[in-house]
Amino acid sequence: MTLIIRTTVIKEKSASALKADYKADDFDPITSICSFNGTVIPSGLCATFMMDTHKVPNGRVSDIKLMKLYSSGTSALYTYAVSGPAYEDGFWWLTDAEYNHLIPSDTVTRGTQYYIHFVVKDNGAFDEDLTAGYITDPVSAGTKLSSSGCVLVPESSMSYELAGLFLIALISGVLRRRKLNS
């Protein structure tokens, strides 16, 4: 098989833009959107693409997700290849700088070089271009955000959360004092 990359387009999008543009709820990107356009000879085969990153969050491999972004405004998650590379449509895996396959329970560290590998079959479910022999695949790696409960973000440059907590405590104190003085 021969794979010729025709173009690679990199786009930066925030979590809110991904949610609005691709219905990617609760997805926080750690990579740019990478759109690969390639030619596969002969047509109908699977092609493996790779992108590198050093922006994975501290945690486990299982915390990272790879999302397909369709031009129709929808998205789908790739399936992680748990036991090793899986050269089938819609699978992905992470390797370290020496190309060692990482399993979901392995720990990853921000600032370390990793490679994201993913497979797209020509005219498969993850291929945007229905022309035989041509693959288009916009993707982004990220983490799924928790949507339960209140979360304080201490590394945020915005202080609205802290100001809100302070305001609630102040109002509560004033109401309590009023009640005691009545």
In tens digits, what is the pLDDT along the chain, a chain of 182 residues?
777 877 777 888 888 888 888 887 788 898 888 888 889 999 999 999 999 999 999 999 999 999 999 988 899 999 999 999 999 999 999 999 999 999 999 999 999 999 999 999 999 999 999 999 999 889 999 998 654 444 444 444 444 554 555 556 556 655 666 666 66
Q: 58 and 74 in one domain?
A: yes
Domain count, the chain: 2
CB neighbour burial string for 143-159, b if at least 16 within 10 angstroms, e if fewer: beeeeeeeeeeeeeeee
Cα separation of 138 and 76, whole Å? 11
DSSP state of 105: T
Contact criterion met (CB below 8 Å) for 107 and 94: no
Q: 129 and 57 in one domain?
A: yes
The sign of the CA dihedral 73, 79, 85, 87 is negative
Q: Return the structure tokens found at 50.
A: 């790779």
Q: 160 and 99 in one domain?
A: no
Q: 162 and 126 in one domain?
A: no
Domain that holds residue 20: 2-149
Q: 21 and 73 in one domain?
A: yes
Q: 131 and 67 in one domain?
A: yes
Residue whose structure tokens are 């339960």: 148
Q: 172 and 124 in one domain?
A: no
